[in-house]
Structure 1
Amino acid sequence: MKLEHIICGLAVSLMLSGCQMITGHNQNLTGTGASNCFFSGPPVLIEGECLLPNWIAFGIRAQHGNDEWRRDILKQTGDDTPQDRLARAVVLSWGTRAEWKQATALYRTELDKAPVPLQPLLHYWLDELEYRKTLVSSATPTRDPRIQQLADKNAELTRKLDALTAIEESMNARRRSP
């Protein structure tokens, strides 16, 4: 199962690297018939030759965009349309861990409203977000019951040692006083 995730991750990295090369030279996306595709701001959900290139470019920009860009896009996508909600999901999925839950909810509610050619990409982004959430939660150390028992025992022994030290200090103080 881990091998599948690694292979999938490598495939996506290669795909996104290629997309960055396309968008890296200038903002015009060129290709077979896609010369009129221009990525500026949130993409639209209109089927055509620009649909996938614009959403891929937007996803890359969301991944690498700074906080100011994110705030600006979130303001631009404040409406309650499927297009705006999906754009917010993309931006939030590359935000803070606290925003991931909202991004997941937006993807799940709006994914079926996207044009059919765009749905596999959005499904992939949702799955990738879920995988990142799983990785983060598995990286958070969970307390082994044995470790907890040892910590409790250590705390108990520390209390006993402190009590014995106090008794010893009291006895030493009595010896010194006439």
Structure 2
Amino acid sequence: MLHRMLRDHVVMREKADALLALLDCAKMPDGLLLADRRWQLSSHIMQHLAFEDRHLYAKLLRDERPHVREIGRKYQAELAELFTAYSQHARFWTPARVANDWNGFRTASRKMTLGMFARIDREEAELYPLAADAAIDISSNVAPTTNWAREAFAIKDAIIQGAGQATA
């Protein structure tokens, strides 16, 4: 399961790099292309978070060792804050707002993406080795703590609706 999570991180980095390439454009690219890149990244993030929630965080929080539970709580709380910020970012930056403030969107999106890269790096350096070293059985899943599907649809609606009409 850790292999799957690491592979997900590789894919998220690739999708984020594809978005960053569009953000490097001085002029807003085609609205549909931009919306597609945003949704491809967001969709993969949602799938990964749902998987990680069921297979890793829930297990860490139920571990009998207090230090493992504490690390799980810390990482899960941080993730909740980061995801709230990401969700607000995605919902705020509708295609119309992106078209009206391309430079503002570029700046905010780069910051959000670089924060995601930092979080992925920390998980790989600290959290995943803890799960392996502490012999956490992440091969099975438990009930998720968040309704990721509901969040995904709300983000998709904000990113996609009107993307074909939005131009800078």
Structure 1 and Structure 2 fold alike (TM over 0.5): no
Larger Rg: 1
TM-score category, normalised to shorter length: under 0.3
Whichever structure has more helix as a proportion of its residues is 2
Larger RCO, structure (CA 8 Å, separation 6 or more): 2
The TM-score, its normalising length taken from structure 1, stands at 0.26
The TM-score, its normalising length taken from structure 2, stands at 0.27
